[in-house]
């Protein structure tokens, strides 16, 4: 029996993937209008390069990055720029975006392929990825070129590809592993070459048997032999960077540290496929796979969607019963963000749209009974019950001492709490307060 990799802590929520895991990715029609935000990534927003009245092509650069930690933005359709201004964004606020009216021609920009990527210098490969506007597509949306440019004092020896997709309902990565297997593996080899990583793993949760059966035979091929398969136990949050690193290498990312502090870089499945498209074909990131699912979605789907497509259109196409919907979430139910405006668009980090017909209970339903379940569930070894109490009492110094800032907001503690205390709500609030305190104390304030 092959070894199964895992980490300490975690939970087993229902997978709820049955409705979409076998559904082939379908191209979602390009909409009449897209709203392409300038901020779809962690870091500085991009700066627009177009203005009202300009004609643009699908895949054309329309906004440049405004710093190293920033990502360029491309048009996802051909058409005419209607405006550049504030529009609804999945973060819940209005964000400067480029509104483009579709001309129905689907005219593509000219892309520059790089067929001999093995002969290219590492810097040239990173430049192609940066020019394609690629960001982490698993939800974190950190610009990929930054992750691939570690400081010179950090040695990366291991690349890990996250095929866990441990959030319930989401199946976008699962389908990519099945339907774009060769592109995925090529993308991984490109990433490995850039990092000069000696070791490279693709970790897949063992419940995705067909994905394992699609990927592993190819790893015997001479071309892909450098990539090793790691069978992951089914557990949430198996796809967390620190949990994956620990499960596969046995290393711990230090408190407050990054994967590179453990000699690792973790990339997501969708990101690796996008890297292949960008480097080999020169195609920038202007569409992505989105799972649309949930109890009131009549026809769940895995769609390939143009960035900037309003969420409302996806829900209409799937005949979602919005009158029965209590909550719309972008991402999965554990770490996704609640959506209040269905005119907000799909962005580069949108892995799924989930529509639920019930909501979580209130913030504190019953007193804590000191059962310790939250402590056992926490994948980063925190004491969630204690942290929540510190936050309630506004004792932020103690909360910091007990490592509140290491919380990855996975929601496992809330999930297991028999008293139905929304622990992650308190901890998120506490982290926000600590950040505000630190910002107030920063030089120049």
Comparing CB distances to ligand SF4, the nearer of 11 and 63 is 11
Distance in angstroms (rounded) separating the CA atoms of residues 387 and 426: 8
> What pairs with residue 361 in β-bridges?
none
Do the strands 287-293 and 327-330 form a parallel or antiparallel pair, or are they unpaired?
Answer: unpaired
Q: Which of residues 351-390 bind ligand SF4 (CB under 6 A)?
A: 368-374, 377-380, 382, 384-385
Comparing CB distances to ligand SF4, the nearer of 339 and 412 is 412
Comparing CB distances to ligand SF4, the nearer of 216 and 403 is 403
Minimum gap (Å) between residue 414 Cβ and ligand SF4? 7
CA dihedral sign, ordered 61, 67, 71, 77: negative
Comparing CB distances to ligand SF4, the nearer of 335 and 344 is 335
Do 264 and 322 meet the contact criterion of CB atoms below 8 Å apart?
no
φ and ψ of 335, to 5 deg: -125, 5
- In the β-sheet with 4-5, what is the strand arrangement from edge to edge? 4-5, 228-232, 199-205, 158-163, 264-268
Interaction between residue 230 and ligand SF4 (CB under 6 A): no
Distance in angstroms (rounded) separating the CA atoms of residues 231 and 239: 12
Look up residue 221 and give its two tokens.
């091929």
Do 333 and 168 meet the contact criterion of CB atoms below 8 Å apart?
yes
Comparing CB distances to ligand SF4, the nearer of 79 and 384 is 384
Minimum gap (Å) between residue 431 Cβ and ligand SF4? 9
**Other Cβ atoms within 10 Å of 111 Cβ, number:** 13
Residue listed under structure tokens 């769940």: 300
Distance in angstroms (rounded) separating the CA atoms of residues 380 and 273: 29
Q: Which of residues 383-422 bind ligand SF4 (CB under 6 A)?
A: 384-385, 407-413, 416-419, 421
Comparing CB distances to ligand SF4, the nearer of 335 and 355 is 335
Distance in angstroms (rounded) separating the CA atoms of residues 63 and 46: 6
Minimum gap (Å) between residue 118 Cβ and ligand SF4? 40
> What pairs with residue 292 in β-bridges?
301, 353
Minimum gap (Å) between residue 384 Cβ and ligand SF4? 4
Q: Which of residues 139-168 bind ligand SF4 (CB under 6 A)?
A: none
Minimum gap (Å) between residue 146 Cβ and ligand SF4? 24
Single out the residue of 38, 126, 391, 424 in contact with ligand SF4 (rule: CB under 6 A).
424
Minimum gap (Å) between residue 115 Cβ and ligand SF4? 44
Fill in the per-residue mask, 53 to 92: x = in contact with ligand SF4 (CB under 6 A), - = not in contact: ----------------------------------------
Comparing CB distances to ligand SF4, the nearer of 190 and 335 is 335
Residues near ligand SF4 (CB under 6 A) are 368-374, 377-380, 382, 384-385, 407-413, 416-419, 421, 423-424, 427
């Amino acid at each position: 029996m092959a070894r199964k990799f895992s980490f300490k802590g975690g939970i087993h929520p229902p997978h709820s993937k049955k409705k979409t895991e076998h559904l082939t990715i379908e191209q979602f029609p390009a909409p009449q209008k897209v709203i392409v935000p300038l901020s779809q990534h962690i870091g500085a927003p991009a700066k627009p390069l177009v203005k009202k009245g300009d004609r643009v092509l699908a895949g054309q650069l329309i906004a440049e990055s405004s710093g190293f930690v920033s990502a360029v933005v491309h048009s996802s359709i051909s058409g005419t720029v209607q405006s550049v201004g504030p529009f609804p964004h999945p973060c819940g606020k209005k964000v400067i975006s480029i509104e483009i009216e579709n001309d129905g021609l689907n005219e593509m920009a000219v892309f520059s392929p790089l067929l001999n990527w093995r002969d290219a210098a590492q810097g040239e490969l990173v430049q192609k990825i940066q020019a394609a506007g690629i960001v982490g597509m698993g939800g974190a949306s950190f610009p990929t070129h930054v992750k691939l440019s570690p400081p010179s004092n950090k040695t990366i020896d291991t690349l890990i590809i996250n095929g866990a997709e441990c959030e319930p309902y989401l199946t976008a990565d699962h389908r990519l592993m099945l339907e774009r297997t060769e592109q995925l593996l090529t993308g991984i080899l490109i990433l490995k070459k850039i990092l000069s990583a000696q070791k490279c793993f693709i970790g897949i949760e063992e419940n995705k048997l067909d994905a394992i059966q699609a990927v592993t035979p190819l790893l015997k091929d001479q071309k892909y032999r450098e990539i090793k398969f790691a069978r992951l136990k089914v557990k949430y949050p198996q796809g967390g960077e620190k949990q994956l690193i620990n499960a596969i290498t046995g290393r711990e990312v230090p408190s407050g540290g990054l994967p590179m502090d453990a000699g690792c870089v973790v990339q997501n499945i969708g990101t690796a496929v996008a890297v292949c498209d960008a480097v080999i074909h020169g195609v920038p990131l202007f569409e992505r796979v989105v799972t649309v699912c949930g109890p009131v979605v009549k026809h769940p789907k895995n769609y390939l969607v143009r960035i900037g497509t309003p969420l409302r259109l996806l829900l209409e196409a799937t005949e979602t019963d919005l009158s029965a919907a209590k909550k719309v979430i972008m991402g999965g139910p554990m770490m996704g963000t609640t959506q209040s405006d269905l005119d907000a668009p799909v962005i580069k980090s949108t892995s799924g749209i989930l529509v639920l017909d019930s909501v979580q209970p209130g913030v504190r339903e019953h007193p804590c009974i000191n059962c310790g379940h939250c402590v056992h569930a926490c994948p980063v070894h925190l004491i969630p019950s204690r942290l929540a109490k510190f936050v309630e009492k506004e004792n932020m110094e103690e909360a910091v001492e007990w490592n509140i800032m290491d919380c990855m907001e996975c929601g496992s503690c809330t999930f297991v709490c028999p008293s139905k205390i929304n622990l992650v709500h308190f901890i998120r609030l506490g982290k926000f307060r600590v950040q505000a305190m630190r910002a107030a104390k920063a030089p120049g304030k």
